[in-house]
Structure 1
């Protein structure tokens, strides 16, 4: 379905400037932007993937990953087409970068999305798999309806949306997981075709607006796993966001244009966790590893949540967002 974009400026000679993400593409008539989902048709910008779904699933919320938001609940996960990055290691490149497969999509209108989530006993809708900013209008419309029906909205993103997009999203999105790939601008340029600073600014904006926030950092051996880069990332979270913001270090596996790079050594993730502890972070998790990731009270050490993969085995001693033993305020949204 094609609808007119909500964020663009008209320019001379029927060109348009897209304001959905930080590329801010200037698009000539009958051309499309970097994301391959925004087209200039007769001097107006249109979203060409509204309500077109490539993937849908009922997931544990921990799979997003969100460990401190509605723990133990199910979320209705949706993905579409397109992306505003070109990550060399993209796990979903077929739907994010090769999007000439719309004939394989299905159309699900916002009202149906909400109905599907409710029927599946989900407490939330998660926008994931590809970059959700590419279907901004669809997310916003669905989020309004989902809130009216008591559902929460989750946004799993690379964080490269424009200020205008984020300001529209903040009142509608209850929880964000932002993929902070590196503290190196060079890494973003070479590996993702993007830049770092807008992402850091968006993270600070999300945190200041008190939306629930968790951060994922995929560690790739030899690319973004040096002590200096990890320490810069964990210090940024501690100093600019908050020491209770959950951080997920995730293990890289070879894929797409980085199939020659070996899997990240688990010892590297354990070192990263120690660096995060050194920075004072309280909630650090390792992803894509074969051992459990439990949550303990950062103050008294009480086991709060025992996990087995994405499944919760036991959830204890959390009362009203506080530790049941020492009564420390915890960064949990229930």
Structure 2
């Protein structure tokens, strides 16, 4: 029996035993289940600024965890080894929500503030994010979500009550560009607007030469963000050749600073990255 997954905007219709385009959700006896629940491919204690978050608990560390899978297909993905793989392609270590929260608690002495869900796209396995975030909160610690924001309102609402801060990728500001990446701009805009009313939100836009690097586009993007809240920090970051775009040149540093300057005409906080 086929079943439709409603976690993101793709609404994959899956036959029994089949996995969605995210590689992390599967039809099991007529029910869509997460196959990456608790399956960790990466675990590291990182500075919170690396998420990147500049205006949330600066100077603190955060236990960062990744799994596998992603619902987009960005050709420049720097973590493609885990985001573009499925359950049989990687070695994983299982951590229950309680076990991961305990690991985070043990690291308090090293400046750890809690847990960050990052590296791959965490919300393709939103159940684990929700359950772990609850455990972390019970211990008086904080939770961070690094996401592309390309998810339904229902999925967002399932995790939002347990998240203290997000960095959301706003990859560009045209439907054509989002279509290239397998996404949908309006879905991401709705996700950002809702999150900004509940938790601390910062945004990241990776500047890719010839794709989303026009002054007009960054102005439109920044103007829209300002309409939500002009104090939302925007990180304008430099592209480096990765995965399927190794033949592309890195973004000129001058271009990153110039576009950040354009965004700064509308937003209170604009940061540059990878420069």
Contact 2:25 2:32 in 1 (8 A): yes
The residue number in structure 1 matching 2:129 is 139
Is 2:194 the partner of 1:208?
Answer: no
Is 2:243 the partner of 1:253?
Answer: no
What SS does the aligned partner of 2:162 have?
A: coil
Deviation, 1:102, is 5.0
What SS does the aligned partner of 1:278 have?
A: coil
Match of 1:105 among 77, 88, 92: 92
Matches of 1:98 and 1:125, distance apart in 2: 23
Higher helix share: 2
Deviations 1:134-160 (A, max 9, x none): 111111111111111011110000001
Deviation, 1:32, is 1.2
The residue number in structure 1 matching 2:215 is 227
Is 2:28 the partner of 1:38?
Answer: no
TM-score in terms of structure 1 length: 0.80
What SS does the aligned partner of 1:104 have?
A: coil
Structure with higher Rg: it is 1
The residue number in structure 1 matching 2:142 is 152
What SS does the aligned partner of 2:52 have?
A: coil
Match of 2:273 among 287, 290, 314: 287
The residue correspondences of 1:1-334 to structure 2 (distance < 5 A) are: 14-101=1-88, 103-121=90-108, 122-190=112-180, 192-209=181-198, 211-239=199-227, 241-279=228-266, 281-289=267-275
Structure 2 stretches of 5 or more lacking a match? none
Cα distance change, pair 188–238 in 1 and its aligned pair in 2 (3 A) = same
Deviation, 1:99, is 2.5
Aligned length: 272
Name which structure has the greater RCO, CA cutoff 8 Å, separation 6+.
2
Deviation, 1:242, is 1.2
Matches of 1:59 and 1:112, distance apart in 2: 19
Structure 1 stretches of 5 or more lacking a match? 1-13, 290-334
Matches of 1:257 and 1:49, distance apart in 2: 25
Deviation, 1:101, is 4.7
Matches of 1:21 and 1:157, distance apart in 2: 12
Matches of 2:178 and 2:88, distance apart in 1: 27
TM-score in terms of structure 2 length: 0.96
Deviations 1:225-259 (A, max 9, x none): 001111111111112x2111111001100011111
